[in-house]
C-alpha cells in the first residue's frame, strides 16, 4: 500500500512538473504610464489575463528607443510589447527593431481605421495634443493658437512641450497658416524660419514641460494660464474637479501603437494581447476610461454620445485638426529637434 501511495505521489509530482513546464510565462508590456496605463489595465490587461490566464508585468518608459535597440542588438529581449508613437514606430520598423505583424492573428484589417494597420505596429487609440486653459484664471476663453500667442490679451505664462514636434506646427498656425497647409510650409527652409521666428515672440513667456502629467498640474496651480496638453490628461484633471477647458481648434492628432520587439520569444501570447486590444468592446471600455478615440470602427457605435463628443475622433473636434505627419517627422525630426534644443538653450 505504501509503495502504491509512493508511486501515486511520484506520478502526481511528474504531472505537476509537466504542467509547470507548459505554463505560459507572463508578458512584459511597456507603456507610457499614468492615467493611460490605468485605463489600459481595465480595458485590456484584465480581460487578456482573464481569457488567457497569462499575467502581465507592467512597465513604463518615456519613448526613448535606445533600450529597445540595445536589447534587440544583444539578442536579449526582455520587453514583449512596447507602446509607440508613430515616428518612433516608423524608424524602429525601418531599423528592424520590431517584428513585421501577421494581421490574421490580430483581426480583420477592415475593422480598423487605415492608420491603425502598419507593418510593425498595431494602432489601438487616437490621441490629440490640444490647447488647454484654466477657466478659473481666464475671464475670456481663448479660441485658437493665435490667442495663445497674444500675451497682451491673455497675460501670463504658457506651457509648451519641450520639443520641436507639434510646437513648430502650433507656431505656424498662430502665424496664420491654415491647418491643411502646415506641413507643406514646414517642409521649406522659409517655413522653418517662420516657425522659429514666431516662437521667438513668446519664448520669455513659456514654461516648458516634458511629461504628459505636467500641463494639468501647471494649469491647476496657476503657474501657466494656457498650455499645450494631451487631451486625455486634461480630461483626467476635469474628473478630479479641476476647471480646465479644451480648445479643439488646431489640435494635432495621432495614433498610438504597440509593437513586438524583434527576437522576443512569446509571439503567440503577444498576438493574443494585440487581438484583445483590437476588440471593439475593449476599446469602448478604454475610451470610457480616458477620452482617446478607438481605432476599431465598430467601437464608436458602442460609446455613449456624451463620451464620444469629447474624443479626438468626434466630427466637431476633428473639423480643424491636423493629422500628425509621420513621414515628415521621420525625415526631418532629428535635424529639427537638434535645432530646437539649441534655440531653447539660448
Model pLDDT, residue 23: 55
Nine cell digits for residue 93: 520598423
Q: Is the pLDDT reported for residue 249 higher than 50?
A: yes
CA-derived radius of gyration, the chain: 23
Model pLDDT, residue 62: 87
Summarised one tens digit per residue, pLDDT across range 40-68 is: 999 999 999 999 999 999 999 988 899 99
The strand ranges marked E within the chain are 27-31, 56-60, 81-85, 121-134, 158-161, 206-209, 226-230, 244-259, 293-294, 322-323
Going along the chain from its start, the domains and CATH numbers come out as 2-126+255-313 (3.40.190.10), 127-253+318-345 (3.40.190.10)
CA-wise closest residue to 86 among 39, 126, 29 = 126
| Alpha-carbon torsion angle 50, 55, 60, 65, nearest 10 | -110
Averaged pLDDT score across all residues of the chain:
92
Model pLDDT, residue 19: 38
Q: Is the pLDDT reported for residue 255 higher than 90?
A: yes
Q: How far is CA 344 from CA 205, 223, 268, 299, 336, in A?
A: 12, 19, 45, 42, 12
CA-wise closest residue to 38 among 298, 317, 292 = 292
Q: How confident is the model at residue 34 (pLDDT cuts 50, 70, 90)?
A: confident
**Measured distance between the N- and C-terminal CA atoms of the chain, rounded to whole angstroms:** 87
Model pLDDT, residue 25: 87
Summarised one tens digit per residue, pLDDT across range 211-223 is: 888 999 999 999 9
Amino acid at each position: 500500500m505504501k509503495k502504491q501511495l509512493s508511486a501515486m505521489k511520484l506520478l502526481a509530482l511528474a504531472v505537476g512538473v509537466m504542467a509547470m513546464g507548459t505554463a505560459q510565462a507572463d508578458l512584459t508590456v511597456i507603456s507610457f504610464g499614468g492615467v493611460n496605463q490605468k485605463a489600459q489595465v481595465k480595458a485590456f490587461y484584465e480581460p487578456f489575463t482573464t481569457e488567457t490566464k497569462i499575467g502581465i508585468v507592467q512597465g513604463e518608459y518615456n519613448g526613448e528607443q535606445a533600450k529597445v535597440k540595445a536589447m534587440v542588438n544583444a539578442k536579449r529581449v526582455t520587453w514583449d510589447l512596447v507602446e509607440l508613437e508613430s515616428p518612433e514606430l516608423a524608424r524602429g520598423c525601418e531599423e528592424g527593431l520590431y517584428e513585421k505583424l501577421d494581421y490574421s492573428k490580430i483581426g480583420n484589417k477592415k475593422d480598423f481605421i487605415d492608420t491603425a494597420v502598419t507593418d510593425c505596429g498595431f494602432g489601438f487609440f487616437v490621441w490629440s495634443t490640444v490647447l488647454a486653459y484654466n477657466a478659473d484664471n481666464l475671464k475670456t476663453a481663448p479660441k485658437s493658437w493665435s490667442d495663445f500667442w497674444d500675451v497682451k490679451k491673455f497675460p501670463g505664462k504658457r506651457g509648451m512641450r519641450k520639443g520641436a514636434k507639434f510646437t513648430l506646427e502650433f507656431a505656424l498656425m498662430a502665424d496664420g497658416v491654415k491647418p491643411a497647409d502646415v506641413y507643406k510650409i514646414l517642409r521649406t527652409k522659409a517655413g522653418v524660419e517662420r516657425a522659429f521666428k514666431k516662437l521667438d515672440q513668446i519664448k520669455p513667456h513659456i514654461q516648458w514641460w516634458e511629461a504628459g502629467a505636467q500641463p494639468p498640474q501647471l494649469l491647476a496651480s496657476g503657474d501657466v494660464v494656457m498650455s499645450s496638453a494631451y487631451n486625455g490628461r486634461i480630461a483626467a484633471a476635469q474628473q478630479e474637479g479641476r476647471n480646465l477647458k479644451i480648445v479643439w481648434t488646431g489640435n494635432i492628432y495621432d495614433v498610438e501603437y504597440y509593437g513586438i520587439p524583434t527576437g522576443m520569444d512569446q509571439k503567440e501570447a503577444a498576438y493574443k494581447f494585440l487581438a484583445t486590444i483590437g476588440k471593439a468592446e475593449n476599446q469602448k471600455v478604454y475610451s470610457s476610461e480616458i477620452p482617446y478615440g478607438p481605432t476599431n470602427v465598430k467601437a464608436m457605435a458602442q460609446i455613449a454620445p456624451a463620451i464620444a463628443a469629447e474624443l479626438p475622433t468626434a466630427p466637431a473636434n476633428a473639423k480643424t485638426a491636423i493629422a500628425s505627419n509621420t513621414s515628415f517627422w521621420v525625415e526631418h525630426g532629428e535635424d529639427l529637434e537638434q535645432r530646437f534644443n539649441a534655440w531653447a538653450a539660448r
